[in-house]
Each structure stands twice: as structure tokens, then as C-alpha cells.
């Protein structure tokens, strides 16, 4: 709430007494949410606004969250530091953007040949991941929560067709997180940039290819206009978790019921966000193929095999990281991936393969 300035001390004192009492009684906190996205960008921009609104609603208006898109207070890549330093109370972004802080952070967002959206939550809730997540982000004065997931991302938009792993060498490719390390091991020049910047770079030829999210968000950004070859599977990011980072001091200052409101707002959005992506990706892909002439192509087997080899090297390097916490995070991730992956052979994988065989897709 803004404070008025009056010309006389007496007026100021009287006005302050009259105006401050309701604000104190209502205990309203004005929180700023900074995001890594353009406002209302289909997918993450929409999800960020949903989170801001849900925190405000579940807190009964006692936390009033105002969303600021990338560039309005700080650039998208600066939201982590803004919350760490207290410039804003919370951010909406993805862990894949914070590898410069610690390589261990990258495992909480997406991992090449790693966890699906449901498995990612399973690791945090039931495999010890949340305690490690808290420990890592606690180094930076941030309390982290997962609050959504894009589901499986795509392999990317390529200006030219890919016929072998050799064709990847030398390509300038936009990606993020551990997928960028995998790409580098394949001989690609990995570039990190925003979604809108990726369109411009593809258009000018500064990029040869790039991946952002999937059909729903990617179609809104217009990549199909400059690169018609759309590749799957996106093994670099089998899922991409969206996160809310809250300034630790601001979070700890909340009463317990408001801490629960923030936590539940994040947790309760995970499935709605994930399933919205899934549904709208499917609808958007049909339109891209039917209306825009997009060529949906599968990476050749030797490309997928080369990606698997590179991804294994990335994980091995994390297991040998100098930081003991990074090593613990990696071992926890690998253990959960292998446990659940083995079970999925009989459960989800078995069911999906059987359905595809019978239904013809």
C-alpha cells in the first residue's frame, strides 16, 4: 500500500494513524512475481499467471501477487538473482536456466533420457528429491517448489533434414540445461537464448536449429515459418518441470497457514498445467501439419544412440562433480530413474505399447 506524504507533521501523524490500521488488520503482503516469459505466452506465460492468481486466492488476498513478465523489472535470465537478493518475492521459470549456479540444479528440471513428468514428482515426493532440492536452493536463499510441467519436449526445429549423427556436427543449436551439454558432446554449437530470440536467430541464419518446448508454445512463437523439419523424440528433455522460487526470508516470515497456501498453490497446479500442455500440444501439432506444411520427422536410430552415449557421459561427469551435494543429487536421481524405469517396462510402457499396437498409433 502506498504511503501519502503530507506537508505538516501533525497531518502526517493523523493520516498515518487513520490509514495504517486497516492495512495492518488485514495483514496484506504485496508480492512481486518476476518471470522468464513474455506475459501470457501459451504454456509457461499462462501458467505463471495462473500461479500468481492462485496464491492470491488461496491466501484469501493476504498475499497479493502481481506478475511482471520478462523485462518488466528484470530480464528473464535475471529472475533467480532478483528473488535471491530480495528484489522480488518469487519467480516462475525452469531449473534448466540456472546451471551457472550449480550443475546439480539442472537435474530438478529435466535430464536427457531422464524422468517423465509423473516420475519427476515421484522423485521429489517419494524418492528424497525435495529435501535435496531445498538444500541446493537454500544456498541461494530460495525456497523452491515445482508448479507445472511441459511433458515431453520435442527434438527441435531444423532448417535442413537430419539423416545421421554426422549431420549434427557443427550445427548452431538452441537448447538449455543438461540437453545443451549433450548437444555439445555431439559436436553441436549449443546456444542459450529466449524463445522469441530463437525465432529471430533461425530467421537470420544465426541458428541452424533449436528446441524450445513443444507444438503449443512453439507454434505461437512461429518457428514453423522459418524451419519446417520438426523432430522427435525430444530425448534431451523427456519432461521439463516449471518451478516457483520464493525468497527464503519472505517465505519464513509468513504464518504457517500462508506458507501452506503458497505450497498448495504450486502443488495443485502441477497436473492442470501438465495436462493442458499435453492436450494443446496434440491439437497444435495437427494444425501445424495440416495448415502450415510442417514435416514431422523422427531422429534416425544412430542419432538417438549417439544422444544416449552423450547423455551417459553427462551423468557420469555429474557423479564425479567436485561438489558433494551435486554428487548426492545425481545418485538420488539415477537411483529413482532406474527403479521406476524398470517398473515402467511392465506398467506404463507396456500399456502404451499394447494400446498403440491395437489402435494403430
Q: What is the pLDDT of residues 219-248, one digit of tens each?
A: 999 999 999 999 999 999 999 999 999 999
C-alpha cell at 46: 499462462
345 DSSP 8-state letter: T
Place of cell 497436473: 271
Q: Which of 211, 216, 203 is nearest to 275 (CA)?
A: 216
CB crowding 47-64: b at 16 or more within 10 Å, else e: bbbbbbebbbebbeebbe
The reply, when asked if residue 166 is annotated as ligand binding, is no
Per-residue pLDDT tens over the stretch 326-352: 999 999 999 999 999 999 999 999 999
Domains of the chain: 27-152+239-278 (3.40.190.170), 156-237+295-359 (3.40.190.10)
Residues forming a β-bridge with 241:
149
E strand or H helix that includes residue 304: helix 301-319
C-alpha cell at 88: 522480488
CA dihedral 288, 291, 295, 297 (to 10 degrees): 40
φ/ψ bin of 156: left (φ > 0), alpha (ψ from -120 to 50), beta (otherwise): left
The reply, when asked if residue 85 is annotated as ligand binding, is no
Q: What is the DSSP string of 96-143?
A: GG-TTT-GGGGGGT--TT---HHHHHHHHHHSSHHHHHHHHHHTTTEE
CB crowding 223-251: b at 16 or more within 10 Å, else e: bbebbbbbbbebbbbbbbbbbbbbbbebb
SS3 assignment, position 281: helix
Residues forming a β-bridge with 67:
33
pLDDT at 27: 86
Q: How far apart are CA 102 and CA 325, in angstroms?
A: 10
User: What distances in angstroms separate CA 256 from CA 77, 261, 277, one per listed residue?
Assistant: 31, 9, 32
Per-residue pLDDT tens over the stretch 134-179: 999 999 999 999 999 999 999 999 999 999 999 999 999 999 999 9
- The structure's pTM equals 0.91
Half-sphere exposure of 338 (CA within 13 A, CB side): 6
How many residues comprise the chain? 361
The reply, when asked if residue 237 is annotated as ligand binding, is yes
Low-confidence ranges of the chain (pLDDT < 50): 1-25
pLDDT at 11: 35
CA 266 to chain centre: 13
The reply, when asked if residue 153 is annotated as ligand binding, is yes
pLDDT at 26: 65
SS3 assignment, position 28: coil
| Helices 44-58 and 256-292, packing angle to 10 deg | 150
CB burial of residue 354 (10 Å; 0-12, 13-18, 19+) = exposed
pLDDT at 40: 95
Amino acid at each position: 500500500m502506498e504511503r501519502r506524504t503530507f506537508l505538516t507533521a501533525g497531518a502526517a501523524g493523523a493520516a498515518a494513524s487513520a490509514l495504517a490500521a486497516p492495512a495492518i488488520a488485514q495483514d496484506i503482503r504485496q508480492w512481486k512475481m518476476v518471470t522468464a516469459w513474455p506475459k501470457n505466452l501459451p504454456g509457461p506465460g499462462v501458467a505463471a499467471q495462473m500461479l500468481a492468481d492462485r496464491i492470491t486466492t488461496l491466501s484469501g488476498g493476504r498475499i497479493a501477487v502481481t506478475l511482471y513478465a520478462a523485462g518488466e523489472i528484470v530480464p528473464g535470465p535475471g529472475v533467480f538473482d532478483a528473488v535471491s537478493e530480495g528484489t522480488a518475492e518469487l519467480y516462475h521459470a525452469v531449473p534448466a536456466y540456472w546451471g551457472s549456479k550449480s550443475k546439480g540444479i539442472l537435474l530438478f528440471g529435466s535430464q536427457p533420457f531422464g524422468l517423465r513428468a509423473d516420475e519427476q514428482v515421484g522423485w521429489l515426493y517419494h524418492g528424497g528429491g525435495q529435501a535435496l532440492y531445498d538444500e541446493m536452493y537454500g544456498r541461494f536463499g530460495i525456497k523452491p517448489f515445482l508448479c507445472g510441467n511441459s511433458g515431453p519436449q520435442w527434438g527441435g526445429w531444423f532448417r535442413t533434414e537430419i539423416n545421421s549423427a554426422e549431420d549434427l556436427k557443427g550445427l548452431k543449436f538452441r537448447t538449455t540445461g543438461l540437453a545443451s551439454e549433450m548437444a555439445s558432446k555431439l559436436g553441436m554449437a549449443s546456444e542459450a537464448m529466449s524463445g522469441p530470440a530463437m525465432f529471430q536467430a533461425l530467421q537470420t541464419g544465426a541458428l541452424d536449429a533449436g528446441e524450445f518446448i513443444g507444438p503449443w508454445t512453439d507454434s505461437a512463437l512461429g518457428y514453423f515459418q522459418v524451419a519446417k523439419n520438426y523432430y522427435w523424440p525430444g530425448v534431451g528433455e523427456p519432461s521439463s518441470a516449471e518451478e516457483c522460487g520464493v525468497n527464503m526470508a519472505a517465505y519464513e516470515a509468513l504464518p504457517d497457514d500462508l506458507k501452506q497456501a503458497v505450497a498448495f498453490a504450486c502443488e495443485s497446479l502441477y497436473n492442470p498445467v501438465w495436462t493442458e500442455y499435453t492436450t494443446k500440444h496434440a491439437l497444435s501439432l495437427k494444425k501445424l501439419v495440416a495448415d502450415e506444411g510442417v514435416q514431422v520427422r523422427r531422429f534416425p536410430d544412430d542419432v538417438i544412440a549417439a544422444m544416449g552415449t552423450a547423455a551417459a557421459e553427462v551423468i557420469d561427469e555429474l557423479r564425479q562433480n567436485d561438489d558433494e551435494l551435486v554428487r548426492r543429487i545425481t545418485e538420488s536421481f539415477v537411483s529413482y530413474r532406474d527403479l521406476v524405469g524398470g517398473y515402467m517396462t511392465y506398467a506404463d510402457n507396456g500399456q502404451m505399447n499394447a494400446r498403440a499396437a491395437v489402435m494403430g498409433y
